[in-house]
Structure 1
C-alpha cells in the first residue's frame, strides 16, 4: 500500500513525523509532499528521515503531481484552512493543491485531517461541508479543545487511512457486514464505591475491532471496563455491569451478521447491593448469585448470526480447554470458539500476546503465541471463509 502524505503549514506539522513513522510501522510505503509554509515549521530532512524517501517541495519536469496521483490514498495531515479551501474551489497553485486536483481526476481517495484555530475551522465549515459531498473525499474530525481544532490521535488517522485505502482497492472483504463486538470486563457493585471485577484489559477485543474496521465492516462496540483507548471513529456504547452489557446486547444484536463476544463478563454478582458504604471495621460475608449467560440467548434472538465466543481458562490442559470450548458450542450454538489459557507466561490478562485454540464443529486449530494484532488477522481470515 502506498500513501502520499501531504504536510501543510499548521503547527501540527510537528506531528506528521510521528504519523509517517506510524504508517511505516504497519507496512505502508509513504511519500511526502510539503508546502512552503510547512517547511518553516519542520525541516524537509525530518520527513525524509521519517518516510525513507525524498520529499516533494516543488513541481518539476518529473510532473510529480501526475506521477503520485494514483496512489492508494492521498492523506493531507495536517490540513490547513488554506489547503482545504483551495481544494473546495479547485485552485492549483502549488505542488500539494495540484496533486489533490489531479488525484481527484483519477478517483483516488483523499483524506483531510484539519488542524487550526477553532475560529478558522468554524469560518471554513461551509467549505468543509461542501467538500465532504464530493466522491472519494473524507475527513478525520479534529479534537476540539483550548480554542483549537487539534490534530487527532495518530492511531485513529492510521486506522482511517487503511480502511479507506482497502475499500477503494477492493480489499475490504467485510464491506457491508454488520459486526458487533463486546470487550473488556464488567464491574458488579457491592456498595456505592466497591465492587468486584476482573483483570480483562480489552486489548484482544480492540485488535479484533480494528481489524474488522480496516476490512470495511459496519462496526459497533459494547465496551465494559478497559485499559485501552477506543478509536474515536468507531461507534460504541459504554456499560459497567454484566446486566447492562447483556441488556444492550439483547437490544441490538438482531441487527448484526457477526457477534464476537470477547468481553470477560462476570459469572457472579452480589445477591443484594448495600445502599450505603460498608464500614471498613466490619467483618463481612457476602452471598453471590450467577449472572445470566448472555451468549446462550444470542441464537434465540438472531438465529442467522455468526456467533463467536471466547473461553478463557487458567492453568488447565489443552484437552480440557478444547472440551470447554465444545461445551460452549453445544450449550450456546456458538459457530466458533476462541479458547485460551491466561495462565501461560506472556498471555495473561493485559498482555500484548496470546496463544489460542480455534474450535468449531468440524475441527480445532492451535495458534501459537503471537501478538493479538496477528491473531485478529487470523480470526478474521477464518470468519471471511465461514461467513
Structure 2
C-alpha cells in the first residue's frame, strides 16, 4: 500500500545519493522533499526538481502573506507534518542532529520535525571523528531516547580522505531500511498490546520499599514501537528514567500490587503482552504501618513474591506472552537455560534473555538472546529501539 514519505535533505557531501533514493521510492509511494538552505551548494536544485516530486525550501514562500495564514490557518510545516507517515532525514549532518536533539526550529526541516507525529528516521553522515565526538554521540542518544530511529552510518572511505565510520549508506540500503519500516506501519492496527516497564517497588512501610534497578528504556521502546505499528498500547509503568512518546496510554503501577491489579485488568483482551518491568522477587512477610524508626537495628523477614508474569496466561490463554530474563555474569548456555525455565513456568511464547554485566542499566544498547517456545533461538545486538522492532517482528510472525 502506498505511503506518504517526507525526505529531509541536509547539506552533507553525500546528499547526491538521495536523488536515486527519491527516484526509487516514488515508484510506490507519495514522496516530498525538504532541503536545508546550503544543500543547493552541493546539489543543483534542478536535479531535485527533475525527480518530479514537490521540493520545499523555505517557510517563507514567494508571495507569503500573514493575512492568508490567518484566514486559512495553513502553514507549510504543519501541513507537511500532518500528512506524512514517515519522515526521513538523510543525510543528517552533525548540525541538523544537534538541532533535532535540542528542539531548535530555525528552518523548514527542523520546524517540521518538531510537529511530526509519525515515525522519524535519521541517517547520520559526517567525518568519522565528528561522528565519534561526545557531543554528537550525546545528541544521537537523546534522539533515540525520544523514539527517533537513528540508523548507524556505514564504515569505509570518506569524502574527507579519512577511512572510518560516517558514510551515508548506499541508496539501495537506505531504501531497504525505509521499506522495512513502512512494512511494519499498521501491522498491529486494531490489536491491543500491553507492556510492563520500569522499576516496581515492594513497600516495607509507609515510606520505604524494596525495588530493582531499571531505567524502563527497553519496555518503553517496545511500547512506542508497538504504537507506531498501529496497536492500542497500555503501558504499565513503574519508576523510569524516560517517558513514552506518541500514542501510548500510561497506567501508573509503582508497586507490585498495583501492577498485579493492572495486569489482570488490561491483559484480558490483549493479543500481545510484554513483561519487561523489573519486579522484586521478594516482599516483606508483614508490612509495617507508618514509618519504621531508624534508631535501632532492623531485621527483615522476606518471602518470595508471586511471579506476576504467570498471571497473563491465566487471564488470557490466547495472548502471545513475551518475558524478560536478566542474569549477571552468565554465559550463553546459562541464559538460554534460564529463558527456557520461564517458558515452562509461565507458559511464555518468547523470552528475551540478557547479561546485565555486559550492558549496565540505562545503556542505550543491549545484546539479547531471543528464545522462542517453538525452539528457535537467535542472538541480536543493537539499540533498544532496533531490538524492539526485531522482538515485535518475531512475535507478530507467530500471532
In the TM superposition, 1:195-344 aligns within 5 A as 195-231=209-245, 233-344=247-358
Task: Report the alpha carbon displacement of residue 87 of structure 1 after superposing the two structures with TM.
Answer: 5.4
- Structure 1 stretches lacking a partner, 5+ long: 6-23, 34-43, 56-61, 89-93, 112-150
CA distance in 2, matches of 1:310, 1:285: 31
Q: Specify which of 37, 41, 48 is matched with residue 45 of structure 1.
A: 37
Contact 1:166 1:216 in 2 (8 A): no
- Structure 2 stretches lacking a partner, 5+ long: 9-17, 23-30, 60-65, 86-110, 122-147, 150-178
Aligned match of 1:31:
33
Contact 1:357 1:364 in 2 (8 A): no
CA distance in 1, matches of 2:117, 2:202: 35
> Residue 386 of structure 1 aligns to a residue in which SS?
coil
Contact 1:221 1:234 in 2 (8 A): yes
CA change 1:54–1:263 in 2 (3 A) is: farther
Aligned match of 2:198:
184
CA change 1:3–1:85 in 2 (3 A) is: farther
CA distance in 1, matches of 2:272, 2:118: 25
Task: Report the alpha carbon displacement of residue 110 of structure 1 after superposing the two structures with TM.
Answer: 5.9
CA change 1:31–1:263 in 2 (3 A) is: same
The one-character-per-residue Cα deviations of 1:288-316 (angstroms, maximum 9, x if unpaired) are 12222121121121111111111111222
Contact 1:160 1:214 in 2 (8 A): no
Task: Report the alpha carbon displacement of residue 227 of structure 1 after superposing the two structures with TM.
Answer: 0.7
Aligned match of 1:370:
382
The one-character-per-residue Cα deviations of 1:54-92 (angstroms, maximum 9, x if unpaired) are 99xxxxxx799x9429x9xxx9xxxx997485158xxxx
Aligned match of 1:384:
396
Alignment coverage as a number of residue pairs: 292
With normalisation by structure 2, the TM-score equals 0.61
CA distance in 2, matches of 1:155, 1:67: 22
Task: Report the alpha carbon displacement of residue 210 of structure 1 after superposing the two structures with TM.
Answer: 1.7
> Residue 286 of structure 2 aligns to a residue in which SS?
coil
Aligned match of 2:83:
109
The one-character-per-residue Cα deviations of 1:192-231 (angstroms, maximum 9, x if unpaired) are 2221211111111111112111111121111011111222
CA change 1:318–1:166 in 2 (3 A) is: closer
Contact 1:199 1:350 in 2 (8 A): no
> Residue 363 of structure 1 aligns to a residue in which SS?
coil
| Two-structure CA RMSD over aligned residues (Å) | 4.5
> Residue 336 of structure 2 aligns to a residue in which SS?
helix
